[in-house]
Amino acid sequence: MTPSSWQQVPHRRYNPLRRQWVLVSPHRTQRPWQGEVAKTEPNTAIHYDPSCYLCPGNTRADGHRNPKYDGVFIFDNDYAALLPDMPEVSDRNDVPHDDLLRAEPERGTCRVVCFHPDHDLTLARMLPVDIQRVVEAWTAQTAELGQQPEINYVQIFENRGAMMGASNPHPHCQVWAIEHIPDEPQAELIAQREYHSAHGSCLLCDYLKREVQLARRIVCENDAFVALVPFWAVWPFEAMVLARRHVGSLTEMDATQQSSFADILKQLTTRYDNLFETSFPYTMGLHQSPTDKQPHPEWHFHAHFYPPLLRSATVRKFMVGFEMLGMPQRDITPESAAERLRALSAIHYTLKS
């Protein structure tokens, strides 16, 4: 074998935020693909769908009728995964609670946030002012739900596209306010707290400084936010959005920062769509500081984007085999993924002549 850069040979990278490793195998990008080729979602450009339970004025499955909203519309999920008022357990002695079998009640509230009345839109195709209204709604939901005494974490997330399990193409996301801090933010909390204790500084502040200095994995940026492909990214075109200023939550941002957050969401999602000229599927989530009424100086606001597409609009990445049984593995290096995304236009491909 001829001498190669460390980035061109199999290696593993450490994720200090999750304290896990990811295997990177750059030489595998040349392997032929004979696996599943998914169908692309048709671009039907339906602005109002009479059968859509999220469109304005339509009746939802439980019988509630949506108002004829003209902006952001929020309602309690009709089929919520969590309930604010738990029914009484008939026999508490029957609940397993030992070192091997353990269960406990979990309270919470689940809401749906419709971004826009237009059924055909996505974040990538919405106007910045409309995305800002969504950010303002997220902020209000975080403040309202986070103040409830039994709520210790507010998770905002969007599943975009049928490939990511979205049950409805209407532009929307979900807000789950939950009694206990979920596993993913809990792991990040522990890592950030221990880094802060050991170094006297913020883990993601220090990481962002390094990324800005190197400028190899940055996709796009503005005055208040940076979108980049993390050094330890698992998914082929995974991205993280980081606040330049150390804040823990949307509720700590002023109007200018919230507007900048809307702008960076627009920039990143537009590049995603332009990559394969398709409405790009992804799971996106905001990771904010817990609402457990405790100070969290270690927590740095950020958002994760996990898109499944690998080589084209029809070839996706699967987390199976070694990834499920061993550790995460990727072929495309984060540097090459960032370079491809960075080179794309910030103007949506459907608007080109």
Where in the sequence numbering do the catalytic residues fall?
172
Count how many Cα atoms sit within 13 Å of the Cα of residue 51 in the half-sphere of its side chain: 4
What distance in Å separates the CA atoms of residue 307 and residue 337, rounded to the nearest whole number?
12
What distance in Å separates the CA atoms of residue 41 and residue 163, rounded to the nearest whole number?
9
Rounded to 10 degrees, the C-alpha dihedral 26/215/318/52 comes to -160
Own/partner contacts of 36-44, CB < 8 Å, gap of 24 or more, are 36/315, 36/316, 36/318, 37/314, 37/315, 38/163, 38/314, 38/315, 38/316, 39/314, 40/278, 40/313, 40/314, 41/161, 41/162, 41/163, 41/169, 41/278, 41/279, 43/279, 43/350, 44/120
